[in-house]
Chains A and B, each alone.
Chain A
């Protein structure tokens, strides 16, 4: 009994001393703060130095992609009179991405793609350049380049505003585009809301199907979209997005042709307006064996009568801290445009034989190897990526895609 009383007294004494101790410590801290408060309010710039507005290079990445396409389509004249004709083409696309920061709030991202394209272009048709022969001159080259600059400004700790402008140049086409977008993180960074508005203006040569040039024509595209990205669990994130595009003007390339019921070929005739809706859902799931799974679904509908479903899955496996591999499969199904035909009546108001607007199923299989090698303090890491994809369609089109990427992160 005595022992219990002694223990209780000791406990009370202990609690009392800790209370006194903590209250005296608190008082002491308050006193210190009171004395020190005018001098203790250091700003970030006093601690880290004044913010610099100089550009700081964050990363430089270059990628070369080769597209090797073969197949046949009824819009091509590289074949029998009533088709289908060859859609053979090879595209080599070097692309460079440079990311730089300017101060604490501003990030610049510049992308410069260059396309070198054989065949399937106005170059193969142009009568004023050389002899018209769309069959044997289909191996002519066409070069195209673009500069795409996005500046992102962090207006608050949770809000970014981006302004993007781009110009695209190729022999028969000039294109300008600009966009304004904003992202805001909410729920302690668990969710991100995004909105964007994009406008594109294309100005390009108008050819007829015999290769004669008839001045210039144009089209415009305006796209609005918004989306939500949400971290659901420690290992799962989802994103959904909806977008609407309205296009007006010349919506074809002007040299596509259509086999006609009278045994000749005529020009493609398309509406001058198109309204497109697309909804996208993505899931990113971490897998317990140090892997990852990306799932993608896209629903599309437009007022030309095309409805499409696309699903994609990419399975990734980390082999080492600096290396992972992935395998990808995508399936795409679309209905054709209402006026798609492979033999049009001569009286049809709208007609197209473009194989891209036909009802079709498309499969893509592929894989890639990604290596990120940590380096010294000056260059934080080197990035390498090699990939291959094969795209094949139910209406006779196949594309092999080879990619090689190198990046430097400073």
Chain B
């Protein structure tokens, strides 16, 4: 619980970090630099892990794991 609370406090403070102007974000235009997985990559990993690890789900995706039948 303490860990979760500390995480939430850290989360709420993140947008206060230093800003980077728009003309200096060219690196992030490269698909290689995408911070999140592409939808089809996410689907493949969900297929691989959610049906094989009981500790899947809970993070905004479909909660699976432990029954192999989602």
Contact = CB atoms under 8 A, between A and B. Distances in A.
Given A109-B39, A278-B58, A356-B67, 8 more contacts: A65-B47, A190-B20, A229-B36, A234-B25, A240-B14, A256-B67, A332-B55, A397-B52
25 contacts: A63-B44, A93-B47, A97-B39, A111-B40, A172-B69, A188-B19, A188-B21, A191-B15, A191-B17, A198-B62, A200-B63, A223-B62, A227-B11, A227-B60, A228-B15, A230-B15, A234-B27, A242-B8, A279-B59, A284-B28, A304-B54, A318-B32, A334-B55, A337-B54, A360-B53
Contacts of A279: 4, 7, 59
Interface of B: 3-4, 7-8, 10-11, 14-15, 17-22, 24-25, 27-28, 30-36, 39-40, 43-44, 47-49, 51-63, 65-70
A134 interface: no
B17 A393 contact: no
Interface size class of A (residues with CB under 8 A): 35 or more
A230 B59 contact: no
A358 B55 CA distance: 10
Interface stretch (A8-16, A36-44, A243-251): A243-251
Of A202, A242, A326, most buried by chain B (CB within 10 Å of CB) is: A242
A354 interface: yes
A157 interface: no
What are the 5 closest A-B residue pairs judged by CB atoms, nearest first?
A308-B55, A278-B58, A225-B60, A276-B58, A278-B59
Interface in A325-364: 326, 332, 334, 336-337, 352, 354, 356-358, 360, 362, 364
Given A200-B62, A229-B35, A278-B58, A189 B67 contact: no
A209 to B, nearest CB: 14
A318 B33 CA distance: 11
B15 A193 contact: yes
B44 A237 contact: no
A373 B12 CA distance: 40
Contacts of A316: 32
A241 to B, nearest CB: 6
A233 to B, nearest CB: 6
Given A238-B14, A251-B67, A399 B57 contact: no
A187 B10 contact: no
Contact of A278 (B22, B33, B57): B57
A196 B35 CA distance: 18
A251 B63 CA distance: 11
A188 to B, nearest CB: 6
Contacts of B53: 308, 332, 334, 356, 360, 362
Contacts of A393: 52
A58 interface: no
B63 to A, nearest CB: 4
A173 B69 contact: yes
Most chain A CB atoms below 10 A, which of B7, B48, B49: B48
B68 A282 contact: no
B66 to A, nearest CB: 5
A144 to B, nearest CB: 10
Given A252-B66, A357-B66, A401 B60 contact: no
B39 A111 contact: yes
Contact of A277 (B4, B15, B20, B30): B4
A306 interface: yes
Contacts of B7: 240, 242, 279
A231 B14 contact: no
A113 interface: yes
B67 to A, nearest CB: 4
B22 to A, nearest CB: 6
B55 A300 contact: yes
A354 B67 contact: yes
